[in-house]
Amino acid sequence: MRTDKIPRILVTMGEPAGIGPELIVKIAQQQIAAQIIVVADEKLLISTARALNLDLTLQQINWQQPAQVHRPGHLAIIPIELPEKVEAGKLNKRNATATLQTLKIASDLALQSKVDAIVTAPVHKANLNTVDPSFLGHTEYFANLAGVNKVVMMLAGNELRVTLATTHLPLAKVPEAITQASLSETIQVILQAFDQFNLKQPKLAVCGLNPHAGEEGLLGHEDQQTIQPVIQRFAQQGHAVFGPFPADTLFTPQKRKAYDVFLAMYHDQGLPVIKAFGFGECANITLGLPYIRTSVDHGTALEIAADYCASADSLLYAINYAGKLATGVLPS
């Protein structure tokens, strides 16, 4: 990481027909204790600023200059050109390659330590999948480009932190994806990441997979046969890893206070809980990458993109979260 005090944060534009460009123009108006560099189509940002009646001045990034703290209404930019004019709310496959290119640029710059963190605006996974059939989401894409086998998705808000044992996977494939080896790797990545963020022995509560964590085998065997032995091994090594707990009662107020981080077995076991607490006051963090990457807690919201009424709260939250992590502070 660079040693001067102002973090350089790279923000990718996301799906051009979604709310990403609007969110970027909106956060550009805010005070932010970092330098913000966007990878985006200049014309799209300028026309979005006009539609929002907001001031925006774009200047190409000069890497020779030291990082300068963000000035409201101004953005440093790495320009990319979309081949087709964007119609807000209407996906256009012909812009997908250039959109994917913004992520490749971001990954390259982060891997070269030219920026301290990447923050992504939301992409449309199916649209990007049309030009890269291996594309499932930023999480997997960045891991692949970084040559990292295992990363873990964490969503963190003011109320709790939730990590996931599996991410973008059909529900029917979840049980077979949770093996003792994969779960051990997941927990290892979480413990290492928290160690780097200076929370040395996080109290980790692990959800069961089945209702009532399997009810002694009556409602499934994975909890006892796969999850429990892994937790026991970590506990024997002195780690504060507990469970498997029935997920339905694990997020009560008392239990939320008792643990630093929760591990859900699948996407829709953990994420609805944290989003219900504060949609917009939450960031998505990829643990296990060789750099910091955060993102919003929502998607492309195509249906409201032409109305310019989207909330930029989560993008701002994700940027501030990345800024804190870049200066070695884990937000509480």
Ligand X SMILES: NCC(=O)COP(=O)(O)O
Ligand Y SMILES: NC(=O)C1=CN([C@@H]2O[C@H](COP(=O)(O)OP(=O)(O)OC[C@H]3O[C@@H](n4cnc5c(N)ncnc54)[C@H](O)[C@@H]3O)[C@@H](O)[C@H]2O)C=CC1
Q: Site residues (CB under 6 A) for ligand X?
A: 137-139, 271, 284, 295
Task: Name which of 6 and 164 has its Cβ closer to ligand X.
Answer: 164
Q: Which among 163, 166, 108 has a CA at the least distance from the CA of 140? A: 166
Q: Which residues bind ligand Y (CB under 6 A)?
A: 19, 120, 122-126, 138, 295-296, 298-301, 303-304, 310-311
Q: Which residue is nearest to ligand X (CB)?
A: 137
Angle at 122 between CA 117 and CA 123, to 5 degrees: 110
* Shortest CB 24 distance to ligand X, Å: 17
- Indicate the SS3 state at residue 38: strand
Helix (H) / strand (E) element for 175: namely: helix 174-177
- Name which of 121 and 227 has its Cβ closer to ligand Y: 121
Residue 267 CB, nearest approach to ligand X (Å): 6
Phi first, then psi: give them for residue 44, nearest 5 degrees.
Answer: -65, -40
Pick 209 or 264: Cβ nearer ligand X? 264
SS3 99: helix
Task: Choose among ligand X, ligand Y, none what residue 156 binds, the Cβ cut-off being 5 to 8 Å by kind.
Answer: none
- What is the nearest approach in angstroms of ligand Y to the Cβ of residue 312? 7
> How remote is the C-alpha of 172 from its chain's centroid?
24
Residue 108 or 307: the one with the smaller Cβ distance to ligand Y is 307
Count of Cβ atoms closer than 10 Å to residue 180 Cβ: 14
Q: Which does 119 bind (CB under 5 to 8 A by kind): ligand Y, ligand X, none?
A: none
Per partner kind, with CB cut-offs from 5 to 8 A, the member of ligand Y, ligand X, none near residue 139 is ligand X
